[in-house]
Amino acid sequence: MNKPLLILVSGGLASGKSTVVQEILDKAGLDDVVILKHDDYYLDQSHLPIEKRYETNYDHPDSLDNELLFKDLEKLLSNKTIDKPVYDFVNHTRSKKIEHIDPKPIIIVEGILILENKKIRGLSDINLFVEADEDTRFIRRMLRDMNERGRSLDSIISQYQRTVKPMFHKYIRPTKRFADVIIPNDRKHDIAVDLIVAKIKQISGSAL
């Protein structure tokens, strides 16, 4: 197998990154793809009491094990398998589970801070940034955290004001300058998706 194509997809929390990625895959007719979540590479916190884990700023670059992700991406790009960590957002630490991931022709990594790391950007072929209205993102995040992660409304609002919003403006939004394409996700973005699909086909050198 040739060297896989690596695509990094960033954007604020709940901006619709996964939805845009699925649109790209559907339009390109792709199914032989690895999709990694940067979230799974949050640092292990099992050595900390649960009260301390609650204080973690998940929107800061230092919360992520980017060295491990970089090594895993190097392996996948060399057509080697990896054992990917899985993060447990209920207990705020890395799960004991791992996922065995085989290399595929296309690798996509989604994450709010995935374009912040220079070493990881250096491995990428295409960088995308998905934008959405700030209020829309907050409502999506609130519903997700309440329904999927058992969070209370008070804790969601407190975290948003304390870390999510300020970290977005300090670390996440500035990474737009590293994006090859910025996709507005508050209106139709068919043209942007078509351009990305065409670029994937051009780089891959096949009709996919």
Q: What is the pLDDT along the chain (208 residues), one digit of tens a residue?
A: 688 999 999 999 888 898 889 988 888 888 789 999 999 999 999 999 998 998 889 999 999 999 999 999 999 999 999 999 999 988 989 999 999 999 999 999 999 999 999 999 999 999 999 998 888 888 888 898 888 877 888 888 888 888 889 999 999 999 999 999 999 876 667 788 888 888 888 887 654 4
Structurally, the chain folds into a number of domains equal to: 1
In a domain, 207, yes or no: no
Beta strands in the chain (DSSP E): 5-11, 33-37, 82-88, 93-101, 106-110, 126-131, 181-184
In a domain, 208, yes or no: no
The whole-angstrom separation of Cα 181 and Cα 192 is 7
In a domain, 197, yes or no: yes
In a domain, 163, yes or no: yes
pTM of the model: 0.89
Write the CATH number for 41. Answer: 3.40.50.300
What sign does the dihedral 1-126-22-58 (CA atoms) show? positive
Q: What is the dihedral of CA 67, 122, 88, 130, to 10 degrees?
A: 160
In a domain, 148, yes or no: yes
Domain assignment of residue 174, given as a range: 5-201
In a domain, 26, yes or no: yes
CB 173 within 8 A of CB 129: no
